Structure 1
Amino acid sequence: MRLDGLRLAFGTLTVLPTPAPRQVNRVTAGGAMLLAPVAGVVIGGLSAAVVAAVQAVQPDADLLAAVLGVVTLCVLSGALHLDGLADTADAFGSRRDRETKLRIMKQSDIGPFGVVAIAAVLLVDVAALTTCIQAGFGWQAIFVATVASRLTLPWSCRTGVPSARPDGLGAMVAATVRPYAAALVTLAALTLLLALAWLTALLSAPIPESAFIGIDHAASAIPISLTDNPAAPSVALWPALIGTALAILLTTALALVATRRARTALGGITGDTLGATVELALPVALLTLALAV
């Protein structure tokens, strides 16, 4: 059953080739939402690899690395969440009644609110990631933000949150994740990401001058770090740890606020509101990291 949930998570949340689950029901769907951060680890890792590769080839191309990293993430997720963001923005931007909002969200076209929402989110993603790259926390930032944004799915699908429709993705996954399970997954993700932040700060720290006792003074004056690139900026430990923890905290809070808003305006969640929450959580996480590191 867990394997089916993992297969459904990758099949739904990524474009990566994945075997179809043997059966799809609400139990499997709940497992898929609970394991959504695992899919985030994979596509976040691939996007981080793109950022790191661009920096290795052209260290000064910070904006290019950020753009390609964000584009890679969009491609790997099939732009599914961006579509949900656009539909949700159009629906809520209409300021109409519940039935009209739900009807707008089912339409295939994108209105002005949807276009602005997509453009704004992508611009913030690229700008914040560029800042993180310049601070020496680039590929780590997109990895952290991708995993953190996918943590919104188990919290959005926790028990007590109904579906706005009797059918569709929202009906399949609504109220399928117990809060304690979402909390355990969040704790596991937090542990992993804090370890990454700690290792980044450790490996980028400059070697103190005391380590060069007995070495020629001129040579010891050269700034050396534990990384292969001595010119790379040093990442401070506490800002990296605090930024990572805050990114997890704020994206989780966003999921709680978003589901409350969806219940008030729509009567529950839909597949579109889930995608919108993921896409809003990504810039929130990246901005948090950009301001922290």
Structure 2
Amino acid sequence: MAEAGTRLAGPRLALSWLTVLPVRGPDAVDRSVAGAAIRWAPLAGLLLGAVATVVLYGLVAVGAPTAVAGLLTVAVLGMGTRGMHLDGLADTADGLGCYGPAPRALAVMRDGGAGPFAVVTLVLSIGLQVAALARLAARPSDWPVVLLAVLAGRCAFAWCCRRGVPAARPEGLGALVAGTQHPVVSALPWLLLAAAAAAATPHRPWQAPLAVLLAGALVAALSAHTTRRFGGVTGDVLGAAAELTTTAVLVVGSFGPG
């Protein structure tokens, strides 16, 4: 029984961290368990993506305007993660936008307020997601793009936590998960998603794989830049990576005739 509980510690922690599901995480969390949770993060993405897909197309089916359906879907995703990733995106934007060395940027990120960089970034990200979801809502055959986008957002965590990337702070989520992922484990989900993504846009089989690869390139650039700017990874950077990836896949996946 204890061995089974140990094996399930990673997925339990992933679901309790990354969703509002009433899943109790393990009593003790060390770097081993935290690293396992990062590897299991796509499970949370799969569940959240399924909910988002049902909400979007369910609302359209009962007569909701596509823009309203898109906005409510973004709201459901925000509530489903306690707004954690949006908060991370906002804090990362403020940290990158401030002047001064890494300690100053990290102090800005810890501040409870939202600066102008955070506000603009949130408005842009949410606006792009709503617009892309509204376009996808008008193309029911492309529903897998919604699932793919949310799933890819959770695959972004592993790349940011790969070996060689230190924690920006000696405490916090970043310190628990930094450097816990083998580089192959970090890159493999992107390759698998890109290979499977052609089914998401059957009439344009190149489009969804392109969206995944572009999102992966953006996450790699974000990870490299935040490592230089902050000195390593933080929990906020993980949230920013998830939102950046989700937005990129939705936007590129929404291109094409309505």
TM-score normalised over the length of structure 1: 0.81
Q: How far apart are 1:140 and its partner, in Å?
A: 2.5
CA deviation map 1:212-264 (0-9, x unaligned): xxxxxxxxxxxxxxxxxxxxxxxx1xx1x322212221222222111110111
> Does structure 1 residue 54 correspond to structure 2 residue 56?
no
Q: Distance in 2 between matches of 1:93 and 1:141?
A: 31
1:3 counterpart letter in structure 2: L
Q: Distance in 1 between matches of 2:150 and 2:141?
A: 14
1:129 counterpart letter in structure 2: L
Structure 2 contact 70–130 (Cα < 8 Å) conserved: yes
- Per the alignment, residue 145 of structure 2 pairs with 141
Structure 2 contact 198–207 (Cα < 8 Å) conserved: no
Q: How far apart are 1:143 and its partner, in Å?
A: 1.1
> Does structure 1 residue 255 correspond to structure 2 residue 219?
yes
Structure 1 contact 51–69 (Cα < 8 Å) conserved: yes
1:61 counterpart letter in structure 2: P
Percent identity of paired positions between Structure 1 and Structure 2: 37
Report SS of the residue matched to 2:140: coil
CA deviation map 1:118-144 (0-9, x unaligned): 111000101111122223345422211
> Does structure 1 residue 288 correspond to structure 2 residue 255?
no
Q: How far apart are 1:189 and its partner, in Å?
A: 3.9
Structure 2 contact 91–114 (Cα < 8 Å) conserved: yes
Report SS of the residue matched to 2:25: coil
Looking at CA atoms only, which structure, 1 or 2, has the larger radius of gyration?
1
- Per the alignment, residue 87 of structure 2 pairs with 83
Structure 2 contact 195–209 (Cα < 8 Å) conserved: no
Structure 1 contact 70–126 (Cα < 8 Å) conserved: yes
The 5 A counterparts of 1:267-286 are 267-286=231-250
- Per the alignment, residue 214 of structure 1 pairs with none
Report SS of the residue matched to 1:35: helix
Alignment RMSD (CA, Å): 1.8
- Per the alignment, residue 111 of structure 2 pairs with 107
Q: Which runs of 5+ in 1 are unaligned?
A: 202-235
Q: 1:6 to 1:182 in 2, by over 3 A?
A: same
Structure 1 contact 51–139 (Cα < 8 Å) conserved: no
1:56 counterpart letter in structure 2: A
Q: Which runs of 5+ in 2 are unaligned?
A: 1-5
Q: How far apart are 1:163 and its partner, in Å?
A: 0.7
Report SS of the residue matched to 1:151: helix
Structure 1 contact 87–105 (Cα < 8 Å) conserved: yes
